[in-house]
């Protein structure tokens, strides 16, 4: 079973940002109130600017008047002054010719007009005053902080990270933090960039900030999980590179990280992958005896988990030398999906390992019905007869079982064609099956692969037939087919001749 590595460098195109000009006023927050004098004049200019922005008209002059009238006045009504000034800075970024780094004159300053000002930093300073004086207004200033220019900076950071431009990614992420430091996104970019530079100390510092910023807010659940995955993945890599006494210590750190991740995610594929990682790490740590703790909760309540988790938990139990645990987990996986080849195959091997050959035959029949042209499946029949041979003293039965074992072993070794399924990807709206067809004969052959896809009841939900070949003698050729259907549990194809 293949798992795609989790990537966390996703552009925030779907991030919903409140339109600053129509920011919603939270209860208990009124940063402006009744104003007069310079602040009243500035508020009048601001109202005209907001109307212009909403009507896609140019509001630069009115916004410059706000800055000119308020920026150098430090004492009169600091709450209203800083709130209006912060609004003006953010709205100026929507105007032509204004960028995050701009000449002071472009914003309306008359003092030191040629110097450069960072608009994000200026707005942050203004909103910091508002938030200190009126904590109830934090939700309001957050709407202004999470503006379009901030989102553009984040997207630029993620895009640069995707392209491997770590310096640019870092620059844009730090720029985004100037105006908004409460969300986890910029920290996640900085953590990823540090990890790619092999600076794990810095990476972990940023990742801890991601987790702190995400907290328990469901809005950030995805970035939180991605960060936890990346932290664990990086620690696993460090454990694989470590030597001597550091290897076990590093493995234990990675184990703790994966356990935290597994406790936080309910994604069937991710939990399954995590189980595999943990088994490997416990072996690296020299603590194989603790492997059963990985799947203990799954074994106690298998109905709570998906088929992939159950299969991989069963494999973990097998690797831990706990065949009875494996049997229970794999039987649960079979109940979850009666058409899972992985569940059936591993369960058949588990029955072999626990000397239950009679239970193997119906599983082998099911496997060879769905995957009839993989000769290796016949080895399961050979194993079953081997197990039967060991359990009898009857000479006639021994002869029958020996002949059967040889027969099925020959089928496995001498089948003229071999289909190997390497990918079975099931989505909500699409299903893909991929693998190879090996021509074991001495002459080139062409094949027609006809596949049916079934739901949990075994009903056919889609089918496709594709030509493969000609395949050269003693060679293999890849195949791949996709149907625009979800809800698929298994597949079966017609035997290749």
Token pair, residue 17, equals 């940002």
Q: pLDDT tens for residues 390-417?
A: 999 999 999 999 999 999 999 999 999 9
The residues with which 466 forms a beta bridge, in sequence order, are: 449
Mean pLDDT, residues 206-219: 94
pLDDT at 15 over 80: no
Token pair, residue 342, equals 């992985």
Q: Tell me what percent of the residues of the chain surpass a pLDDT of 70.
A: 95
Q: pLDDT tens for residues 419-472?
A: 999 999 999 999 999 999 999 999 999 999 999 999 999 999 999 999 999 999
pLDDT at 75 over 80: no
pLDDT at 7 over 70: no
Q: Does the domain formed by 417-493 have CATH 3.30.420.40?
A: no
Q: How far apart are CA 223 and CA 235, in angstroms?
A: 18
Position 174 confidence tier, pLDDT thresholds 50, 70, 90? very high
Q: What is the pLDDT at residue 74?
A: 65
Token pair, residue 200, equals 């794990």
Q: What is the pLDDT at residue 356?
A: 95
Q: What is the pLDDT at residue 23?
A: 63
Q: pLDDT tens for residues 334-365?
A: 999 999 999 999 999 999 999 999 999 999 99
pLDDT at 226 over 70: yes
A 10 A CB-CB count for 40 gives 15
Mean pLDDT, residues 101-127: 94
Position 18 confidence tier, pLDDT thresholds 50, 70, 90? very low
Is residue 255 a contact partner of residue 282, using CB atoms and an 8 Å limit?
yes
The residues with which 426 forms a beta bridge, in sequence order, are: 431
Is residue 355 a contact partner of residue 339, using CB atoms and an 8 Å limit?
no
pLDDT at 26 over 80: no
Q: What is the pLDDT at residue 264?
A: 93
Q: What is the pLDDT at residue 17?
A: 42
pLDDT at 374 over 90: yes
Q: What is the pLDDT at residue 36?
A: 80
Q: How far apart are CA 190 and CA 194, in angstroms?
A: 6
pLDDT at 1 over 60: no
Q: pLDDT tens for residues 124-148?
A: 999 999 999 999 999 999 999 999 9
Is residue 455 a contact partner of residue 421, using CB atoms and an 8 Å limit?
no
CB contact set of 287 (below 8 Å; sequence gap of 6+): none
Position 37 confidence tier, pLDDT thresholds 50, 70, 90? confident
pLDDT at 11 over 50: no
**pTM for this one?**
0.80
| Strand ranges across the sheet with 460-471 | 460-471, 445-454, 490-493
Q: What is the mean pLDDT of the chain?
A: 91
Is residue 53 a contact partner of residue 90, using CB atoms and an 8 Å limit?
no
Domain boundaries, the chain: 23-145, 338-415, 417-493
Token pair, residue 380, equals 């399961």
For helices 307-319 and 341-353, the axis angle rounded to 10 degrees is: 30
Q: What is the pLDDT at residue 151?
A: 94
């Amino acid at each position: 079973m293949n798992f795609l590595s989790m990537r966390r460098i996703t552009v925030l195109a779907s991030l919903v940002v409140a339109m600053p000009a129509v920011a919603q006023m939270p209860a208990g927050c009124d940063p402006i109130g009744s104003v007069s004098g310079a602040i009243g004049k500035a508020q009048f200019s601001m109202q005209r600017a907001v109307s212009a922005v909403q009507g896609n008209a140019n509001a630069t002059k009115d916004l410059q008047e706000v800055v000119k009238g308020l920026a150098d006045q430090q004492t009169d009504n600091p709450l209203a002054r800083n709130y209006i000034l912060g609004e003006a800075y953010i709205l100026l970024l929507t105007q032509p010719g204004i960028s995050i780094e701009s000449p002071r004159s472009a914003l309306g300053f008359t003092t030191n007009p040629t110097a450069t000002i960072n608009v994000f930093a200026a707005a942050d300073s203004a909103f910091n005053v508002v938030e200190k004086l009126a904590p109830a207004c934090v939700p309001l200033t957050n709407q202004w902080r999470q503006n379009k220019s901030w989102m553009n900076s984040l997207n630029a950071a993620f895009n640069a990270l995707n392209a491997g431009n770590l310096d640019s990614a870092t620059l844009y992420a730090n720029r985004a933090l100037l105006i908004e430091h409460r969300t986890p996104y910029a920290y996640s970019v900085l953590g990823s960039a540090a990890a790619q530079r092999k600076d794990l100390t810095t990476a972990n510092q940023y990742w801890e900030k991601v987790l702190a910023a995400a907290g328990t807010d469901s809005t950030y659940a995805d970035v939180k999980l991605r960060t936890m995955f990346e932290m664990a993945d990086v620690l696993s890599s460090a454990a694989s590179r470590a030597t001597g006494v550091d290897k076990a210590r590093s493995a234990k750190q990675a184990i703790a990280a994966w356990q935290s991740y597994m406790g936080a995610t309910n994604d069937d594929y991710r939990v399954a992958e995590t189980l595999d990682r943990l088994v490997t790490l416990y072996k690296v740590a020299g603590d194989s005896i603790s492997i059963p703790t990985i799947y203990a909760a799954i074994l106690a309540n298998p109905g709570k988990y998906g088929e992939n988790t159950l299969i991989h938990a069963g494999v973990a139990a097998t690797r831990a030398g706990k065949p009875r645990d494996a049997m229970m987990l794999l039987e649960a996986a079979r109940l979850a999906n009666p058409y899972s080849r992985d569940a059936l195959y591993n369960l058949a091997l588990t029955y072999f390992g626990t000397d239950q050959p009679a239970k193997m035959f119906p599983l082998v029949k099911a496997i060879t019905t769905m995957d009839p042209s993989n000769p290796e499946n016949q080895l399961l029949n050979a194993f079953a007869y081997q197990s039967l041979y060991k359990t009898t003293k009857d000479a006639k039965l021994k002869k029958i079982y020996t002949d059967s074992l040889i027969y099925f072993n020959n089928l496995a070794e001498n089948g003229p064609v071999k289909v190997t399924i390497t990918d079975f990807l099931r989505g909500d709206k699409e299903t893909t099956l991929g693998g190879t067809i090996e021509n074991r004969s001495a002459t080139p052959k062409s094949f027609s692969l006809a596949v049916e896809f079934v739901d949990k009841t075994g009903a056919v939900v889609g089918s496709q037939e594709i030509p493969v070949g000609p395949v050269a003698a003693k060679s293999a050729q890849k195949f791949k087919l996709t149907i625009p259907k979800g809800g698929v549990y298994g597949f079966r194809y017609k035997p290749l001749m």
